[in-house]
Structures are given as C-alpha cells and as structure tokens.
Amino acid sequence: MGDPSPSREQLLEWYRQMYLIRRFEEVAAKAYTQRKIMGFCHLYIGQEAVAVGVSAALRATDVVVGGYRIHGQIMARGVSPRAIMAELFGKDPGVCRGVGGSMHMASQEHAFWGGYGIVGGHIPLAVGAAFKNKYLKDGGASLVYFGDGASNQGAFFEAMALAELWKLPCVFLLENNYYAMGTSIERQSAITDLARRADGVGMKHWQCGGFDVAEVYDNVAKAAEHARSGQGPVLLEVLCYRYRGHSMSDPAKYRKSGELDEKKKHDCLLLCEDHLTPHGVGEADLAKVREAVDAVVQDAYEFADAAAEADPALLYDFVLHGGTS
Ligand SMILES: Cc1ncc(C[n+]2csc(CCOP(=O)(O)OP(=O)(O)O)c2C)c(N)n1
Ligand SMILES: [Mg+2]
C-alpha cells in the first residue's frame, strides 16, 4: 500500500529523479538540433512524475513495458543516463548497443521491455508477462505504459478482456496527456474519462493526477497491490501533460492558448518542492541537487559523444532469436 506521507529522503530522491529526467531530455533536445541524435525522438518533459512514481511503487523484478516515449520510463527503472544517451546517439555502449535508438530501448536487467513504435501494439505483451507471474505464482506483477491515443486501439481492449478473464496481475497505466500527436482528446474519443473503458470487461479502474509524484506513487502502489492479490488487473488513468511537441519535429501549434502555462502551474518539480518545504528543505538544498544532476547529464552527453559508433555487424542481431551471426 502506498505511503500517504513520504519521508524527506524519499521526496528528495524523487525530486532528483524527476529533475534528472527533465534535464536529460533538455540536453537530448539540444543534441537533436545538433544532429547528434537522428530519427524520431519523443520527449517526456512534463510527465516525469508518472515514471518516477510508477517505478517507486513497483518491485525491481516486476516487468514494465513501454511504448515509444520511454527515455524517462527506462531511466526511472535505473538504467544509467550514459547508457540511454549513448543509445540515442546510436553508439555502441548504448543500452541496446546503439541499434535501437530513442524508440527501441529495453533492459533485461531492469525488467524494462520498452520500445514499440506501433501504437498500442505493445499492450498485450504485459498481459503475457502477467500470465507468467500467475502461472509461476511468483508474486510478481507487470505494468504497461500507453497513451490516450493508444486506448482507442483494438489490442488494448483485447488485452484487457483476457487479463480480466484470467485475473492476471497487470496494471494498465494510461498516461492521458490529452493529445495523440496533434489530435486533442475531444477529437479522438467519444468519452474523455478514459478509465471507463475498463467497464466493458468488468475491470477495476480509476483516475488520478499525474503531476504530484506522491499521488502517482500512492495510486500505482494500490493498483499493484490489487493486481498481486489475485483480484485482477487495474486500469489506472493518470492525468498528465507533455510540455513539448509530440516529437522533435512538432511545434505543437494545436494547443489552446494559455493551456501550456496553466498546466505548468502544477509542474511536478514545483509540487515536490511544496512537499519538501515542511521538511525544512529550501532553495539552496534543491539547487545543490540540481547542480549535481546537471553534471551527471553533461557527463552522459560527453560520454555518448565520444563513444564508438554502433557496430554494423550487429544489425541483424536482436531481431531473430539467437541472431544471425
Ligand atoms: C498503429 C499506429 N497508428 C498510428 C501511428 C502514428 N502515431 C505515432 S504516435 C501516435 C499518437 C499516440 O498518442 P498517445 O497514445 O496519446 O501517446 P502520446 O504520444 O501522447 O504519449 C500516432 C497516431 C503509429 N505509430 N502506430
Ligand atoms: Mg497522448
């Protein structure tokens, strides 16, 4: 069960992780404009509290599956900024040896099986992982991240139907950031409170805020506990917002005027600062945390920049089991 009042140390660690993801993404955006990162690149800025709250609430062995907006999600699982930046740069020390790139990152060691560009196509994989948990009775659970747009896909409904029928320990974590590329939620779905989609299969569901990391933590912990207890999966809709465009090529001109500024008033770092104030943590303490993180991200950038290119001989490895070499 989630702890309603996290400790000073816990909050400081969450603040550090959220700021790390934000700073990392800002530097990745810069590297993209320098053409050091090629191809698609979907930034997570604005949604940091979701990944950090999720990771804090799960066990290290629980399988997590992500889509394509995954830099922050895999970092919150503990993969190093160096390995993620090198992956973005297409370099050999990347978490997938530089052959995956922004959209295709996974780490067996961190039980993160992310990296799918087919919207919604990855959701059934988490149900398979949850089936394994149930079959082996190992007490584990799985969690899958996906967006509001993905919740229109057939694979999502099929995955929910089977997971509920078999009472599998799976958390469906819907990050509702109100847009699917440039299409607002009102223009893509007849209902806008998307958690209700689980009603069709009789699955437990609820909604929570995605700006306050403590709130995300608490709700994911409750959802995971429900799933592990044998009562069945949960669809948890987390209301969040992405500050940048859909990908690096999107100037995000489709937003309502003033919408972004309004959302930023609830920024996850500001809310976390509010939680820290009663613990006696002030701006000077936070500046120290940010300074240390800035150095870590700068190091990741320099490491990735200097690293060897991905090895072309690996091109067909990781595609078929056992590779071709
Ligand atoms: C099956 C499929 N259809 C369309 C696309 C193109 N596409 C890529 S991302 C995206 C929007 C998905 O939005 P959402 O699920 O809300 O996730 P977000 O980008 O907001 O994190 C679309 C339509 C795709 N990659 N795959
Ligand atoms: Mg979306």
CATH of residue 134's domain is 3.40.50.970
Cβ partners under 8 Å of residue 29, min gap 6: 41, 43, 244, 248
How many domains are there within the chain? 1
Cβ of residue 45 lying under 6 Å from some atom of ligand 1: no
Any domain includes 95: no
- The predicted structure's pLDDT at residue 261: 97
Residues 57 and 68 sit within 8 Å (Cβ to Cβ): no
CA atoms of 184 and 205, how far apart (whole Å): 22
Does 148 contact ligand 1 (Cβ within 6 A)? yes
**Nearest by Cα to 9 from 56, 78, 66:** 56
**What average pLDDT does the segment 271-284 reach?**
97
pLDDT score, position 1: 45
Q: Is the CB of 66 under 6 A from ligand 1?
A: no
Domain assignment of residue 34, yes or no? no
Partners of residue 91 on adjacent β-strands: 309
Which ligand is in closest contact with the Cα of 155? 1
pLDDT-derived band at 3 (thresholds 50, 70, 90) equals low
257 in any annotated domain: yes
Q: Is the pLDDT of residue 2 over 80?
A: no
User: In which band, very low, low, confident or very high, does the pLDDT at 177 lie, cut at 50, 70 and 90?
Assistant: very high
Cα–ligand 2 centroid distance for 286 (angstroms): 31
Residue 323 belongs to some domain of the structure: no
Judge whether 322 lies within some domain.
Answer: no
Residue 174 lies inside a defined structural domain of this protein = yes
Domain extent, residue 224, equals 40-79+106-296
CB 288 within 8 A of CB 69: no
On the question of pLDDT at 203 being above 90, the answer is yes
- Beta carbon of 118 within 6 Å of any ligand 1 atom: yes
CA of 175 to the centre of ligand 2 (A): 7
Is 32 domain-assigned? no
The mean of the pLDDT values for the chain is 96
Per-residue pLDDT at 192 exceeds 70: yes
pLDDT at 323: 57
23 found inside a domain: no
Check residue 259 and give its pLDDT: 96
Q: Given pLDDT bands bounded at 50, 70 and 90, which one contains residue 182?
A: very high
| pTM as predicted | 0.97
